[in-house]
Amino acid sequence: MAYTGEVAVGGDPDVREVAGLRITKVATPPFENNCYLLRCLATGETLLVDAAGDAPRLLELVGDGRLVGVLETHGHWDHQQALAEVVQATGAPVLAHRADAGELPVPVDRLVEDGDRVTVGRATLTVIHLEGHTPGSLALLFEGDPGQPHLWSGDSLFPGGPGNTQKDADRFTSLMDDLERKVFGPLPDSTWVYPGHGRDTTLAAERPSLPEWRARGW
């Protein structure tokens, strides 16, 4: 069946393969967070984006792959419920931004900044720092699929708007500025977006709403 990005807690993961990278999306309890496993098909090396919950399920999905890292998109507690257990079981290093590292329950092995590269087997992904939802929120970009970049946006970009900035005008402006300058500006409409909760989207679907988001202030 074709990938849809529609997943539910307790249901099957959704899987697609693009440019030698297998992308597995699964919804985890207790807060219906999305977790993503990115596996290089050539080497089996796997990166987990957000160990949000249900560590046994995440470890099952790693399977015979080698977990080479867990990238936490930000430090909010609903995105880290399974982190300690996954790290204990696999010894995988944890990657996060310096500004959010102190919020995590385990030490961060690699502090990543805007523009840093993360390698998973033969795939290379780029870190994008999007300040606003939290000080150290990150997105992760894969440009190895010709014609369609893939962006894991954490809680910084969803269908219908940017992530929650708790009605803080400065945080909202910071997030919107970063999204427009680092995401909507350089990336094409074909970019597929994998958020931290809910369904996927594309930049084409969201771009027309940028002025509306600015005007409403959230």
What does pLDDT average to over the chain? 97
* Cα(45)–Cα(74) distance, integer angstroms: 23
Confidence grade of residue 116 (pLDDT, cut at 50, 70, 90): very high
Instruction: Give every CB contact of residue 142 below 8 A, 6+ residues apart in sequence.
Output: 18, 19, 21, 38, 123, 124, 125, 126, 149, 150, 151
Place of tokens 């606003």: 132
- Is residue 97 over pLDDT 90? yes
- Region 5-19: what's the mean pLDDT? 97
* Cα(98)–Cα(107) distance, integer angstroms: 11
- Region 60-71: what's the mean pLDDT? 96
Q: Is 46:122 a contact under the CB 8 Å cutoff?
A: no
Closest CA to 50 of 121, 140, 125, 119: 140
- Region 171-183: what's the mean pLDDT? 98
In the prediction, which pLDDT does 201 show? 98
In the prediction, which pLDDT does 144 show? 97
- Region 154-164: what's the mean pLDDT? 98
pLDDT more than 70, % of the chain: 100
Confidence grade of residue 143 (pLDDT, cut at 50, 70, 90): very high
pTM above 0.95, yes or no: yes
Q: Is 53:59 a contact under the CB 8 Å cutoff?
A: no
Instruction: Give every CB contact of residue 63 below 8 A, 6+ residues apart in sequence.
Output: none
CATH annotation of 14-216: 3.60.15.10
Confidence grade of residue 1 (pLDDT, cut at 50, 70, 90): confident
Instruction: Give every CB contact of residue 196 below 8 A, 6+ residues apart in sequence.
Output: 33, 34, 50, 52, 73, 79, 153, 154, 155, 158
In the prediction, which pLDDT does 88 show? 98
Describe the strand order of the beta sheet including 94-96 as a list of residue ranges.
14-18, 21-28, 33-40, 45-49, 66-71, 94-96, 110-111
- Is residue 106 over pLDDT 80? yes
Q: Is 130:138 a contact under the CB 8 Å cutoff?
A: yes
Which helix (H) or strand (E) element contains residue 85?
A: helix 83-90
- Region 181-186: what's the mean pLDDT? 98
